[in-house]
Structure 1
Amino acid sequence: MLYLISGASRAGKTIIAKKISAQKGMSYLSLDWLIMGFTNGIPEYGLHDMLFPDEIAQRFWSFFKSMIESMLWSDVDYIIEGEAMLPELIIELIKKHPDKLKVCFLGFADTSVSKKVKEIKDFSSKKNDWLIEKTDEYIIDHVKNMIVHSQKIKKSCKENNLKYFDVSEKFVNTIDDTIEYFML
């Protein structure tokens, strides 16, 4: 079984992947690592971390789809998390392999910018946190972009009948609900 966790930056994808990994004894892969490999290793491909998530997902899709199909063929159990997935793209694989994929998306479509910025500042880890060293203006702009991205994901999940969890309210409870969804 492949567990795919996608959605907006700062929605809790990595937290969920790590907890499921520990509970199920499975490895996980962050798509951020692959995108940084493209960014720093083969910049000529034009796939880099400064693009908007939907653009990354579109450019990354043929590679990612082939990787997933290879993993499904190999019958491995794995968790993959990251922004570089879109509901309207991943639905193709779900329809083709309904019993081998469990997918959800996370976002914060219904929050205020100020609330999410405060949450980032209050709860972000100081260790290995790329956003914490950015200016307030950068963080505010990032949050605004991720709210818009969350709204698009939420709409696409509804259109494609995919599971969407919104962490705008009760972040910790929603993370727990998402983990429970994957553990069933």
Structure 2
Amino acid sequence: RPVVVQEQAGERAIVTRAQRRRARRAEMNRRQFMKATFWGGLGFGLTGALAAFLSFFWPRGVQGFGGKIPVSASLVPDEGEDPVRVTTGKFWLAHLERGAGTHGGFGFEGEAGLLALWWKCPHLGCTVPWRGDFNFEGVTGWFRCPCHGSTYTRSGVRVFGPAPRPMDTMEVTVNPDGSLSVDTGVIRKGDQDNPQRTVPYA
């Protein structure tokens, strides 16, 4: 009898140790699963956030404003003519004569060529129209903000009003066939050197 009891006790001890090992393995598996789930979810979330960040700051294939706007050669104004409004790109395309775009000591003289001016007023963001009929200090033809009267030359140089600086410019590329590509995603703050930012156009 004692021998049987001892054998049964030994079996129970063996079974208990096996159960504990299984329980430990199950607990470890649960912990590993939870860790894998946590790190996997974190990695997935970070990847999504990074993709959104890159898409916002380095957009691909942007069409319309914020991307490259094609302008056909037929729309390019002749040198000295009134600027042309390009609605899809929110800019005015000016074809300046040599030395044009300055007035009364404002602006630095530049060479003849094309200039793309963002039509947003640097003051409060109003859309600035070209006023070919507007006379200011004996000169007719200005960009004139309808909101607070800021007045700009053909090159976007501010000569009057509350705007803190000249109109901003955009990057212009001339194609071999005479058409243009205006990158509305590359905007440079306007300054007195606006007339010197022209791109030659034959």
TM range (shorter): under 0.3
- Structure with max Cα Rg: 2
* The structure with more helix, counted as a fraction of residues: 1
* The structure with more strand, counted as a fraction of residues: 2
Q: Which has the higher contact order (CA 8 A, sep 6+)?
A: 1
